Structure 1
Amino acid sequence: MNKDANALNWFEIPVTDMQRAKNFYDKVFDINIAVDNMMGMEMGFLPFEDGNGKVSGALVKSDMHKPSMDGALVYLNANPDIQKVVDRVESAGGKVVMPKTLINEQVGYMAFFTDTEGNKMGLHASS
């Protein structure tokens, strides 16, 4: 790994029902996920800009992707206001498992939720 590069360059969130997962993440983050098929997998791409060095990922449905409450935990960007994102989780069909919590003044806030597919996910924001 190059010490000057992002440690994370791509992530995949396993799903069993792409439309349900797309609806959930679209509503919670106020976005529109584009769905496509690639290499035998159904993929819902989270927003990104080509060539800017920022990390992105996708919702993925395949035989190799199984939703889980265990394992690696991905923190999604909830800026500029994490509470607005947390407030949309349950109305979208998820469950808040840890409310907005201060890490410290320099790092900001975090929260945990479960999505409609059974994944535990993290949120992070400066406020």
Structure 2
Amino acid sequence: MTAATLASTRVLSWFEIPALDFERAVRFYETALDMPLKREIFGGVPIAVFAHDEGATGGAIVFDPQQAKPAAGGVLVYLDASPSVSDALARVERAGGKKHGPAIELPNSIGYIAFFTDSEGNRIGLHSPKLA
């Protein structure tokens, strides 16, 4: 598959979740998703990158208050909560996040989604094929 073909089959290529307290936000996501993030400095800006395979969509927590601030009404990103949305929501609450109601079953066996507010005030979605 060529880069042009890959690009045409993928809508999202990268995402950034803004943070005002970088270390708090990184700890929150590491706990909520039960995975380590890779801390880096990119263009003078601290970022913590979510693990992803080469060529797959990637993203990061970003501390750049001059450019981006957390907001509940901004773009909505869905993070992979596999294998279970319910387990991820429980970790979100233990990490200090606030869930927005129960998980929702999607039609056509697409899986389940749920929403939460992170430690910084961002509204984020979760998706997984299984509820529990």
What is the TM-score with the length of structure 2 in the denominator? 0.89
Quick check: 1:22 aligned with 2:22? no
The structure 2 residue matched to 1:95, chosen from 80, 98, 104, is 98
Give me the whole-angstrom Cα distance separating, in 1, the residues matched to 2:28 and 2:73: 20
The structure 2 residue matched to 1:44, chosen from 41, 48, 58, is 48
How many equivalent residue pairs? 125
- Give the letter for the 2:56 counterpart: K
- In the alignment, structure 1 segments of 5+ residues that lack a partner are none
Quick check: 1:108 aligned with 2:120? no
User: Secondary structure in 2 aligned to 1:99?
Assistant: coil
- Structure 2 match to 1:31: 35
What is the TM-score with the length of structure 1 in the denominator? 0.92
Could you tell me how far 1:74 is from its partner in structure 2? 0.2
CA RMSD of aligned residues (A): 1.5
Identity of aligned residues (%): 38
- Give the letter for the 1:56 counterpart: G
Runs of 4+ in 1 over 6 A off after TM superposition: none
Give me the whole-angstrom Cα distance separating, in 1, the residues matched to 2:28 and 2:120: 9
- Structure 2 match to 1:55: 57
- Give the letter for the 1:31 counterpart: M
- Structure 1 match to 2:70: 67
- Structure 2 match to 1:80: 83
Could you tell me how far 1:105 is from its partner in structure 2? 4.3
- In the alignment, structure 2 segments of 5+ residues that lack a partner are none
